């Protein structure tokens, strides 16, 4: 697969030569082979994109909302035409298995476009309250910083609502997984997005990300990534009083009730935790089970993991791809070793690559049992295929320990619906999933505490890119 624009940036409706000469190799983490090089942007490259977005803002934000919805519908049409290219790009940059790159990664971008279009058509952009008229309009120029673990999901979750709200934007995809972003820029160009409305500059967080966060012509920064990087973005944005929306880390609990179907609940929890090679911020990485059922839970978890097949993404039998990079592989290996050193029971997995795999950043799906809530593996985000099982004596204890975390992105409860609903109300998380429901892209997504602020998806995402204006005395 070729990426003809890899050494260019998309600015003001054109693919332009960067002002910077810096380059970065893009690796396929399944093979450790270099796919291509991308250009890395400088402060000056970023400024050029920001100024293009600023010049385009007033003309674009004055478009009727119906016209912007039509534009987003054309983006969806072009996305559908390039669906295979989008999936292939993420298979290469992430090492994602073929089925996962299509049915999860590329599908996510498609379904979020559909959800945003539906929400925009149903949304009340203007409403009268007494003699006042309340109007929702685009906030302005937006800096969008997206991660490598769900590239297209996060790009669409930011670009689509910003576009339909009447914002202009500069996107910085992850420099580790930038290829799908190049395809997405081509899609937006082919859909007829006006020059300057969407701009893309590849680069690093300390250079391009920092400039988006500090620049006085940027009105909002929407960031998805680690809590550490998110706090840096917020601090950099503070002097110019930007709006900052953040979707950050997580250490999500999964409480399995004593009345649950234990085997099904554990199997579903393990599969969910290990999906996307565990590189999901809302993964259910802490499984709470009644102490009397702990040993059985470990057996089911081991059997579930041993049925997984990490390996060649092109092999139809492969279920799990590699971690994103060598540095991340070594970080996850160190966390697995820390769990061993802390005395947790290794149910399955452990350090090293899976048996039979001798290249690529593959990790053994790992489960620890008899974990206590003070262990590092129970408190720190691993961001890999690592699950910890914590036995509990009372439901009250499980709820307290589930909430005893700096994070609050997601939580899970398995058991009879009425009991699960009652527990859900006690959990401090932005999303509580009962009995592993289907992904709902019309529901809000975002976190409590150090998992971020703001919400994404459908009308909730659109609201975050809007200012609220009131014209008082609009009616006599």
- Other CB atoms within 10 A of residue 293 CB: 18
The Cα–Cα gap between 44 and 237 comes to 18
Catalytic site residue from 36, 281, 298, 305: 281
Q: Name the token pair of 149.
A: 């673990």
247 in catalytic set: yes
Catalytic site residue from 93, 137, 186, 247: 247
Please name which of 221, 281, 272 lies closest in space to residue 246, comparing C-alpha atoms: 221
- Other CB atoms within 10 A of residue 61 CB: 17
Q: Name the token pair of 102.
A: 């299509």
Judging by beta carbons within 10 Å of its beta carbon (0-12, 13-18, 19+), is residue 44 exposed, middle or buried? exposed
Q: Is 124 helix (H, G, I), strand (E, B) or coil?
A: coil
Question: Using a CB cutoff of 8 Å and minimum separation of 24, what contacts does 415-420 make?
Answer: 415/256, 415/257, 415/258, 415/259, 415/260, 415/265, 416/257, 416/259, 416/260, 419/257, 419/259, 420/257
Alpha helices by DSSP H, 123-241: 151-165, 179-190, 210-214, 227-237
Give me the residue label for tokens 């009397």: 292
Give me the residue label for tokens 């509990």: 392
Residues noted as catalytic? 247, 281
């Amino acid at each position: 697969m070729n990426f003809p624009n890899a050494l260019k940036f998309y600015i003001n409706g054109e693919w332009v030569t960067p002002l910077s000469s810096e380059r970065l190799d893009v690796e396929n983490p399944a093979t450790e082979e270099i796919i291509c090089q991308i250009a890395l942007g400088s402060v000056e490259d970023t400024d050029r994109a920001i100024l293009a977005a600023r010049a385009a803002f007033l003309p674009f934000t004055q478009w009727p909302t119906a016209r912007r919805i039509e534009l987003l519908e054309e983006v969806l049409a072009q996305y559908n035409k390039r669906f295979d290219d989008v999936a292939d790009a993420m298979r290469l940059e992430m090492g994602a298995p073929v089925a996962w790159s299509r049915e999860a990664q590329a599908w996510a971008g498609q379904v979020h476009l559909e959800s945003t279009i539906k929400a925009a058509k149903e949304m009340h952009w203007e409403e009268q309250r007494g003699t006042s008229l309340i109007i929702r309009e685009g906030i302005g120029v937006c800096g969008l910083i997206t991660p490598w673990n769900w590239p297209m999901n996060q790009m669409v979750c930011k670009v689509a609502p910003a576009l339909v709200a009447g914002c202009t934007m500069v996107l910085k995809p992850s420099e580790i997984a930038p290829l799908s972003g190049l395809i997405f820029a081509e899609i937006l160009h082919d859909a007829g997005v006006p020059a300057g409305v969407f701009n893309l500059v590849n680069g690093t967080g300390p250079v391009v990300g920092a400039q988006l966060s500090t620049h006085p012509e940027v009105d909002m920064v929407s960031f998805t990534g680690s809590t550490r990087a998110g706090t840096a973005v917020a601090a950099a944005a503070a002097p110019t009083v930007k709006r900052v929306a953040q979707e950050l880390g997580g250490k999500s609990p999964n409480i399995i009730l004593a009345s649950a179907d234990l085997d099904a609940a554990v199997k579903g929890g393990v599969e969910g935790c290990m999906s996307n090679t565990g590189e999901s911020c809302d993964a259910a990485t802490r499984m709470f089970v009644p102490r009397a059922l702990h040993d059985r839970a470990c057996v089911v978890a081991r059997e579930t993991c041993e049925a997984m097949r990490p390996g060649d993404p092109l092999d139809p039998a492969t279920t799990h791809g590699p971690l994103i990079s060598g540095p991340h592989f070594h970080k996850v290996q160190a966390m697995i070793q820390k769990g061993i050193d802390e005395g947790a029971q290794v149910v399955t997995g452990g350090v090293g690559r899976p048996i039979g795999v001798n290249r690529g950043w593959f990790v053994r799906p790992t489960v620890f049992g008899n974990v206590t809530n003070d262990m590092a593996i129970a408190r720190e985000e691993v961001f890999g295929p690592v699950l910890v099982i914590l036995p509990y004596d009372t439901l009250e204890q499980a709820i307290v320990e589930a909430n005893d975390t700096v994070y609050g992105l997601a939580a899970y409860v398995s058991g009879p619906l009425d009991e699960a609903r009652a527990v859900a109300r006690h959990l401090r998380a932005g999303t509580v999933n009962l009995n592993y429901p289907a992904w709902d892209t019309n529901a809000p997504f975002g976190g409590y505490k150090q998992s971020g602020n703001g919400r994404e998806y459908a009308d909730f995402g659109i609201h975050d890119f809007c200012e609220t204006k009131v014209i008082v005395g609009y009616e006599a």
